[in-house]
Amino acid sequence: MNRNILILVLVIIIIIAVLVGIVIFLPRGDSSGQKVVINYWGLWDPPEVYEELFQEYENNNPNVDVVYAQRRFGNDQSNSYKGQYQASVDERLANGEVDIVRVHQSWIPRILPQLSAAPQSIFNDQEVKANYYPAVSEAIVTTRGEVYGAPMIIDGLVLFYNKDLFTKAGVTNPPTDWDDVVEVSKKLTVTVNGEIQQAGINLGSASNSLHAFEIVLLMMTQADVDMVSLDATNKIQASFATQKAADAVNMYFDFARVHKVWSSRLPNDLQLFTEGRLAMMIAPSWRANDIINANANLNFDVAAVPILPGANRDTPQYLASYWVDVVSKKSRNPAEAWKLLAWLSQPAQMKRIYQKQASLRAFGSPYPRTEMASELTNTPISKVILQMAPGMKSWPLYDYGNWEVIFNSELAKLETSTAAVNAGNLESAQSQLNQLIFK
């Protein structure tokens, strides 16, 4: 072979080797210009809520491309916490098909092995405890100080009430404690030939109260029941089968059995409220959107859920139930995902999210940051959530969906009996949960 040709071939081989090496060892998603793609699953919010924010973030971080998708919670009116969305989240986390996903705060202990903790330099436990409500740190911060979620909202149960029915019955204000609830709900109940035509409040049945489990959990929380505890081996377990918990269940059933302000023979509470035939309804605040969509002319308002008369304010009086963004352990770019969440969690971005949400639906998501409470003092619904937020409790239930399914099943059995509920009646639900979840 001609010497010059041999040299040319060797040069070409060296150049090809260098180029292959550059391609193989080129850093991904950095100043090289290659994009870091962050797949982000939202839930309630359509893409337009975040479009401007993500565009701004991408302009300031040219190596990042945020791909947002809105998912659906379920395909039925009940919106059970154990449904198709939960199954989809579990599947995508296992397959590594999502970087950021929105989950219920109670799911975090269950899916913890599939999550990436926030780098301490980006989002740490000191910041969470200093700037967020206690129910937030209870849910997203581990005993080791690791942070596994970035909440964009704080939420829980509220008391919806029909203002026209209140006026007609001469009731001025919504009740603030459970004794008042009994008296007011009796005034607001209309019975014809022994059948309730207008119900006072949606308490007393598991079959047609869509959020019976959460309401009973609220009552147990107010009664200072330890829903979970540590066993002898320091493992968490369900521990609510006590007389205090049984008393809370009896208080719930008494609204139908004794006070006769609700009946299992009625349509479900959401339907009855939107029809104007239910005076008061305890439900998560997001039900306001369902109510407005079903009956835009309904004259209703919301108030804080009732508490026990003479309640100790050091004991949590309200139940936290909200959604939080988490990062998948199988994310290819967990640090970049956390940088995005830390940026979205700043007050300036939260305000913009709220304003966009409020322009698209009944109200925006109440801020989970304590220093932002004064921002929403004049807003409907959100201001009520923030009144309750300092006293909210978040339980590490591991699997809110299975708690809901098991509790509703056991409550349905108990409501058919005329006998008072005792601690022993709750042992079946406790045993099922310990075998299914905490094993």
pLDDT at position 396: 86
Residue 17 has pLDDT above 80, yes or no: no
Fold of 157-319+397-436: D-Maltodextrin-Binding Protein; domain 2 (3.40.190)
Confidence of residue 18 (pLDDT cuts 50, 70, 90): very low
Between 19 and 248, name the one with better pLDDT. 248
The CATH architecture of the domain made up of 36-155+322-393 is 3-Layer(aba) Sandwich (3.40)
**Model-level pTM?**
0.87
pLDDT at position 79: 57
CA–CA separation, 296 vs 306, rounded Å?
26
Confidence of residue 23 (pLDDT cuts 50, 70, 90): very low
Q: Do the domains at 36-155+322-393 and 157-319+397-436 have one common CATH topology?
A: yes
Residue 217 has pLDDT above 70, yes or no: yes
pLDDT at position 252: 97
pLDDT at position 437: 80
Mean pLDDT estimate for the chain: 89
Alpha carbon distances (Å) from 176 to 129, 249, 294, 303, 393:
29, 20, 27, 9, 19
CA–CA separation, 222 vs 203, rounded Å?
16
Torsion (CA) 71, 73, 76, 77 in degrees, nearest 10: -130
pLDDT at position 362: 83
Confidence of residue 29 (pLDDT cuts 50, 70, 90): very low
Q: What are phi and psi of 378, to 5 degrees?
A: -115, 20
Domain ranges within the chain, ordered by starting residue:
1-25, 36-155+322-393, 157-319+397-436
Q: What is the pLDDT of residues 377-398, one digit of tens each?
A: 989 889 999 999 999 999 988 8
CA–CA separation, 5 vs 2, rounded Å?
5
CA–CA separation, 357 vs 50, rounded Å?
10
- In 112-262, which residue ranges form alpha helices assigned H by DSSP? 125-131, 134-140, 163-169, 178-187, 212-222, 243-257
Q: What is the pLDDT of residues 58-98, one digit of tens each?
A: 999 999 999 999 988 765 545 566 667 888 888 889 888 89
Tokens for 251? Answer: 């208080």
Measure CA of the first residue to CA of the last residue in the chain; give whole Å.
74
Count of positions (residues) in the chain? 439
CA–CA separation, 410 vs 428, rounded Å?
8
